[in-house]
Structure 1
Amino acid sequence: MIRVVPVNSKKELGSFIDFPHDLYDGDPNYVPELFIAQRDLLTKHPFVKHNPIQCFLAYHNNKVVGRIAAILNNHYNEFNNANDGFFGFFDCINNHEAAAALVAEVVKWLQEKKVSKLIGPVNFSTNEPSGLLIEGFDSPPVIQMTYNYSYYASLLEDAGLKKQIDLIAYNFGDDYNDRAFHMLDRLEERLNRGGITIRKLNLKDFKNEVNKLRTVYNSAWDKNSGFVPMTDEEFNYAANDLKLIVDPRFCCVAEHNGKAIGFVLTLPDINQVLINIKRGRLFPTGLMKLLWNKRKINGIRIYALGVLEEFRKRGIEAVLYGNVIKEYKVRGFHKAEASWILENNDMMNKAIIDINGSPYKTYRLYEKAI
């Protein structure tokens, strides 16, 4: 018999964070999240200060067999004039009864808050890791992308969830379209003549850069499915975390007459290191592995790219992508991922394909009327 209980204690929270390590034990593509980072995310992140969240654990014979979190994103509902609830942090053994029990508990919790639709998985919103992997199980996820067993889709679909939208991840290999890059160089020159310039991120002026990018971020994605603007506190929290690993050579800002109108943020794939840190523990040896192997990272993730609406359809997106991939080529890196892109974002998908990006992983958001 499956028993689902709310996570209310420090010990239960530890079990919630650690469950995936046991579930994916022996899976060569599993990347453990750092325990301390997950604990802080669930207890200290600015999001949890103004949005109710309840984590649940599923037990069978007193052994954890699944987990899930119910999330009420008040800011999302206000911004989108919606009445939706979310689920995230879903992991489960291949057992339909357990998965159905977890989803049912989330539905019950959200119904008490008068929510009419369930969407997920998101951890906590689309500003954080989102989507269920449905294609591309043959390689580890890159930084801040999700990973799961292939049977998860069946578990959720049998629990009554249906596809809302797919999210596409693109891979860039070593096959470069030199002609396309020459065209991008000419396009950038034309943009320059129109007062639009592309520059590298300036970490020495970090506070001002964050303020500029926050304005663009919260405006550039305003019509994306499922988007919710980040509060100043949330954006600053994320920025301070990313500052620890960001490489400004891979990050560019587009400006028009000195005003930021777009940017591309690229992160080194720290998952190449985390994959070897057992159970996400930095001590006693994990920290040394992290510091020592960080220099060996040879992959990147194009994490976020956006352009203000009034400056779109001028090729700025393609030029930003092109600048990152050219730097990637110069550095001799072996893997670059652009993720994720909504399947119906034709302009962005075309910009990536035009410089030889290939779709190689697909993630899915599900929904269910409740």
Structure 2
Amino acid sequence: MAGVSVIPVQSKRDMKTFVDLPWELYRNDPFWIPPVKSQVIQLLTPGRHPFWTFSRRELFLAMRGSEVVGRIAAIVDDHYNEYQQEKMGIWGFFECQRDPEAAGALFAAAIDWVRQQGMEFIRGPLNPSLNYEAGLLVHGFESRPTFLMTYNPPYYPELVKLSGFRKEKDLLTYLSTRDIKPPEWAMNLGERLAQKQEVKVRHMNPKHFDDEVRLLTRLYVECWGGNWGFSPPTEAEVRDMVNSIYPIWDTDLAFFLYVQDEPVGVCVVLPDVTPLLKRFNGKLGLGALLKKHLYWNEINGCRGFILGVKEEYRQVGAPLVALHYLMEAAKNKLQYYYVELGWNLEDNQAINLLYEESGLRPHKRYRIFRRDLV
């Protein structure tokens, strides 16, 4: 058997190989969801995505002879490191055959690169940060992921551990279906709290796009600013994110929470378009998918993409109000059989307990790994 070599991505041909590799690795996996190729290329390309205005990266391919057997991205997010006062390197976009030697060579290349950038530890997978797709699936392999969640074969965690990484944090998702009836007390309490605390819901208005993006950016920081691993997205990143998902935006399931006249929370629930992504194999963007009306009935669920409340309003029931409202709104959409919420940090006991007591059940578990370099 030929030995393993690792090469940096340098040409357009190399980039195409990097982007196309998952289609080869997952060709017989019924649960893998192809991403939109054009969006992957944009996300990986400095100058085409706002993340790279404050970050840098190196992409690597693992070769066994003439065969491409794996890939990885090594990343430094200067914005995060300045915000958290850390020296963190990142690995992400990892894919590999069941080949410990190749995986080890890829991780060694990523570690060497971030070490040369002066980093003191490396964390991943982040694709390319915690504000995007993150985590390695470690539980929940029996079903496909929902929209914008990661997926990988069951052997990936072992490849990561063999390269010297340890668990740092788990991310959890929760699931509700029409067969699961929320406890009556939770629904009644949500209604009473909404009235008592004067919690109001305002749907996002696409006619005021710029204002809504600014408010969403502000609330994202105010709601998640104290969380582990957080760094505030820039307004340009939020704008890019909203633009990318706007073609499938369901205005009935995208809203702000207000107490009196103060915005205190935000919720965005998206149709789970993974059946269409699977059908068209990553060749069509979301705007083009929206035009495929013939297949729209294949979508039978949704995903809670954003759900957050400012800390000072969590103890007066605003999270329960938000959950109650989104669950009722989703139930009124007869097309939706299920809704997945998350991810949540495993130690976010308040929100995890709220979900469980409201009748949702744990669904999938994703893991962030870390390796110290000094």
Which TM-score band applies after superposition, normalised by the shorter structure?
over 0.9
Count, aligned residues? 364
Kept after mapping to 2: 8 A contact 1:198/1:255:
yes
Whole-Å separation in 2 of the counterparts to 1:208 and 1:139: 38
Alignment-derived partner of residue 162 in structure 1 = 166
Residues 19 and 334 from structure 1, CA distance in 2 versus in 1: closer, same or farther, beyond 3 angstroms? same
Matches within 5 A, 1:62-73: 62-73=66-77
| Per-residue deviation, 1:289 | 8.2
Question: Following the alignment from structure 2 to structure 1, what is the Cα–Cα distance between the partners of residues 205 and 358?
Answer: 26
Answer whether contact 1:302 1:339 (CA < 8 A) is retained.
yes
Query: Deviation per CA, 1:186-222, whole angstroms, max 9, x where unpaired?
Result: 1211121xxx322222223222111111101012111
Which residues of structure 1 form unaligned runs of 5+?
A: none
Residue 112 (structure 1) aligned with residue 116 (structure 2): yes
Residue 272 of structure 1 is matched in structure 2 by 275
The CA RMSD measured in Å over matched residues stands at: 1.6
Inter-partner Cα distance in structure 2 for 1:168 and 1:258: 33
Corresponding residue of 2:125: 121
Aligned counterpart for 2:359 among listed residues 348, 356, 359: 356
Match of 2:177 in 1: 173
Within-5 A mapping of 1:138-217: 138-174=142-178, 175-179=180-184, 180-192=186-198, 196-217=199-220
Deviations 1:269-327 (A, max 9, x none): 1112101123x2239xx869855423542211101111122222111112111111111
More moved, 244-253 vs 93-102: 244-253
Q: Which residue of 2 aligns with 1:18?
A: 20
Aligned mates of 2:93, 2:64 — CA distance in 1: 19
Q: Which amino acid aligns with 1:31?
A: I
Is the 1:273–1:289 contact (alpha carbons within 8 Å) kept by the matching residues of 2? Answer: no
Partner of 1:337 in structure 2? Answer: 340
Whether contact under 8 Å (2:201, 2:257) holds in the other structure is: yes
SS of corresponding position for 2:147: coil
1:236 equivalent in structure 2 = 239
Q: Which segments of 5 or more consecutive residues in structure 2 lack a partner in the other structure?
A: none
**Contact conserved, 2:183 with 2:359, CA < 8 A, in 1?**
no
Cα distance in 1 for residues equivalent to 2:62 and 2:294:
38
* Segment of structure 1 superposing worse, 292-301 or 320-329: 292-301
Distance of aligned partners of 1:11 and 1:292 in 2 relative to their CA distance in 1, 3 Å threshold: farther
Comparing 347-356 with 1-10, which one deviates more in the overlay? 347-356
Structure 2 residue 122 is the aligned partner of structure 1 residue 86:
no
Correspondence for 1:77:
81
Aligned-residue identity in percent: 34
Q: Which moved more, 1:19-28 or 1:327-336?
A: 327-336
TM-score (structure 1 length as normaliser): 0.95
Counterpart for residue 30 of structure 1? 32
2:105 aligns to what? 101
